[in-house]
Amino acid sequence: MPGDPLRARWIADTFLDDARCYTEVRGMYGYTGTWQGQRVSVQGSGMGQPSMAIYVNELFREYDVRSIIRVGSCGALSERLAVRDIVIASGACTDSAMNRIRFEGLDYAPVADFGLLRGAHDAATAKQLAEGVHVGLIFSSDSFYPARPELAARMVEFGVLAVEMEASALYTLAAKHGRRALTICTVSDHIVTGEETSAQEREQTFGTMVEIALAAGLAQD
């Protein structure tokens, strides 16, 4: 489940056999095909937790999807990471009010499914990617252009690796519905160094995380 619908189309064209487009509603492409003989769907989610939540709720409730792996881009917050490194998110911090409303002010800790997390780590290890793959916390922000960017430094002090905009909602809804979820992101830009990739690179060259996601999902089936 990438955020970018064009990345969904690229994933279907690049990795799936006999892929067919099942939806183009609002330009949010979805495809179903096979990978190594197993049926796989790829569905765009749009940007941000509200958009992600719409698609995830409907996939879980109306289509009985059992597991969702987000394959997205993120901004590195730590100097430990480099552009094009991969982050497998064990948990998701957030500045969103969605869970504060849901839990009436209590702090809920949205975490990944351990089986998918382990499968992704095993797949990355099999590809001998240990140096460029990081497992840890991610920060799901509601703001692409934050009003208080200095607050990200506090997150880094407590172990947060990178920032994106969807994982917290995905993990929370998976827990609500008793389903499995994982977020795997490729570092598209570095908040500390200023290095960044192009829009086309973000759409079409982050294939390694897709291969890790497919292997992790297949291992659970």
Would you please indicate which residues are annotated as catalytic (active-site) residues? 189
What is the SS3 string spanning the chain? Answer: CCCCHHHHHHHHHHHCEEEEEEECHHHCCEEEEEECCEEEEEECCCCCHHHHHHHHHHHHHHHCCCEEEEEEEEEECCCCCCCCCEEEEEEEEECCCHHHHHCCCCCCCCECCHHHHHHHHHHHHHCCCHHHEEEEEEEECCCCCCCCCCHHHHHHHCCEEEEECCHHHHHHHHHHHCCEEEEEEEEEEECCCCCECCHHHHHHCCHHHHHHHHHHHHHHC
Work out whether the CA dihedral 210, 84, 2, 7 comes out positive or negative. negative
What is the C-alpha separation between 100 and 103, in angstroms, rounded?
A: 5
